Amino acid sequence: MRAVYGIAGELVHAPEGTAPDFDVRLGKIPAAFFTPRKNLFSTLFYSVYLVLDIPKPRRLLYGKINHLFRIWVTSADNLLDDEDKCVLPLLMPGSSRVMREVIAIMAADRVLWSLLNEAVGAKVVTARQADALAAQSLRCLLPSAAQEAGEEGGVLTRPSPEYVLDTIHVLKTGLLFALPFLGVDLIESAAAPERVARLKHALMLFGGGCQLLDDVRDIGRDFVERRHNYVLSVLAQKHPDVLLAWSTRTIRPGDRLYRETLPVCVSAVRLGFQKLVDACVALQEEGALPLNAPASRMAASMFTALDLEDLAYATASAG
């Protein structure tokens, strides 16, 4: 992370002689950026490289690329969802939220090329491998981007819950949990294919579990913005009267509507929790998570990370 921010700091500044009112620079990186809670997924991803015994210079490169993915994805989400989750603090005039995210995405792209050129110079990867990493770093995001594009104007009908689980969640979140394997798939020919497949499956499960919890937490936002949501699809299929009643009210994106539909939401939470438990067990078996910590406890910690602590009780009879 510090390496990425260091390069960004060298790149992001206006040309010499620019008037102060139009200067743009990278701000100070907050200490909070480096806390364990802020980096749960990045740490989990990096553990995969340790398990696969990838040489340190390449696994450090992959870790830096993973952080660039965080910048790209989070900045894009900020633009699409009118959010302000800062991943690249920029000092610039005015209060433009959109332009800050545009610059963050552009800067991350330049950082990628700097990292790859440096890696080629140090013989960490070949020029051909660097080109492949750059090209595939875009291509692997395109299906997820297409899914987001399909929601941008709002969905007109609610698909089946099964479609949301098996298609929407895979594209929305599952693919993002496959991003750490970019370098593994392209370069690490010595990695055992069966083990790589098991690790991929475990991370996909983990991502799917997180997305289910997200869907429960975000019912209000997804209802207002007409976005895909597993719980909303269940309600459309089994309790359409609930959605009809909500349509006659003023619903705010931050409303915790799961408190009004607890039976459905508790069922979704338990399904998500089971996915997280299964993922943690699989990752433990591969050595990517510690064996001395119960899988259910590690899975339950995601309720705090995802701001859903008031439903953690639902895990008591699951797992």
Q: What is the pLDDT along the chain (319 residues), one digit of tens a residue?
A: 999 999 999 999 999 999 989 999 999 999 999 999 899 999 999 999 999 999 999 999 999 999 999 999 999 999 988 888 999 999 998 877 899 999 999 999 999 999 999 999 999 999 999 999 999 999 999 999 999 999 988 999 999 999 999 999 999 998 899 999 999 999 999 999 999 999 999 999 999 999 999 999 999 999 999 999 999 999 999 999 999 999 999 999 999 999 999 999 999 999 999 999 999 999 999 999 998 889 999 999 999 999 999 998 888 655 4
Question: 64 and 176 share a domain?
Answer: no
Question: 311 and 241 share a domain?
Answer: yes
> What was the pLDDT predicted at 317?
54
- Looking at the DSSP bridge assignments, the partners of residue 315 are none
> What was the pLDDT predicted at 319?
47
Question: 123 and 166 share a domain?
Answer: no
Q: Is residue 145 part of a domain?
A: no
**Residue 129, Cβ density class (10 Å: 0-12 exposed, 13-18 middle, ≥19 buried):** middle
Question: 43 and 72 share a domain?
Answer: yes
For 291-302, b where at least 16 C-beta lie within 10 A, e where not — what string?
eeeebbebbbbb
Question: 118 and 199 share a domain?
Answer: no
Which range of residues forms the domain containing residue 274? 156-319
Question: 39 and 134 share a domain?
Answer: yes
Q: Is residue 314 part of a domain?
A: yes
Question: 292 and 179 share a domain?
Answer: yes
Q: Is residue 66 part of a domain?
A: yes
Q: What are the angstrom distances between the C-alpha of 193 and each of 46, 88, 137, 154?
A: 18, 35, 21, 40
How far is it, in rounded angstroms, from Cα 29 to Cα 4? 11
The pTM score is 0.93
How far is it, in rounded angstroms, from Cα 268 to Cα 271? 5
Question: 66 and 207 share a domain?
Answer: no
> What was the pLDDT predicted at 96?
79
- State the total domains in the chain: 2
Question: 162 and 105 share a domain?
Answer: no
